[in-house]
Structure 1
Amino acid sequence: MWKLVKPSVRKEVIHQLESLLAEYCDGCFVHRQLKKEGGRRQAHRFCISQCTVGGKIKEFGKKLE
């Protein structure tokens, strides 16, 4: 079941998420290298399961549920 998130809270969480992505993920060397060596799927799996920034992104996602 969906929890209702206030629009102002949702907007702030999305803003923080965009800032995080712009600061750390855009042009990430590790992601780019893994994508080159093992493909997009392997790079994505690394970001989700091992990267500390990926963990923060998951936390933001849980706030938006």
Structure 2
Amino acid sequence: MKEAERKELLANMEYVMGYYCEGCFLHKQIKKEGGRRRAHRFCINECTVGDKLKEFGGKLS
């Protein structure tokens, strides 16, 4: 993978996380009710934004 493609993917990931994940109500609520690990697990396994981030990560590998 070329360095320019890698930088573009990383920039896209930063944008998505900044736009959708910062201040996420679901994350805050699940964290309050079930703890930090439960909220993190939700973001990775159940959230559509997490799926998109995993897709970006797969392209980086």
TM bin (shorter chain): over 0.9
Q: Which blocks of at least 5 consecutive residues in structure 2 are unaligned?
A: none
Of 16, 20, 35, the match for 2:16:
20
Q: Could you tell me the TM-score, scaled by structure 2's length?
A: 0.97
Larger radius of gyration: 1
Report what 2:39 is aligned to.
43
Q: Could you tell me the TM-score, scaled by structure 1's length?
A: 0.91
Question: How far apart are 1:47 and its partner, in Å?
Answer: 0.5
Report what 2:30 is aligned to.
34
Number of residue pairs matched by the alignment: 61
Q: Which blocks of at least 5 consecutive residues in structure 1 are unaligned?
A: none
- Please list, as runs of the form range in 1=range in 2, the aligned pairs for 1:45-60 lying within 5 A after superposition: 45-60=41-56
What amino acid does structure 1 have at the position aligned with 2:6? R
What amino acid does structure 2 have at the position aligned with 1:25? C
Asked whether 1:8 is paired with 2:4, we answer: yes
Q: Considering only aligned residues, what root-mean-square deviation do their CA atoms show, in Å?
A: 0.5
Question: How far apart are 1:16 and its partner, in Å?
Answer: 0.4
Instruction: Considering fraction of residues, name the structure with more helix.
Output: 2
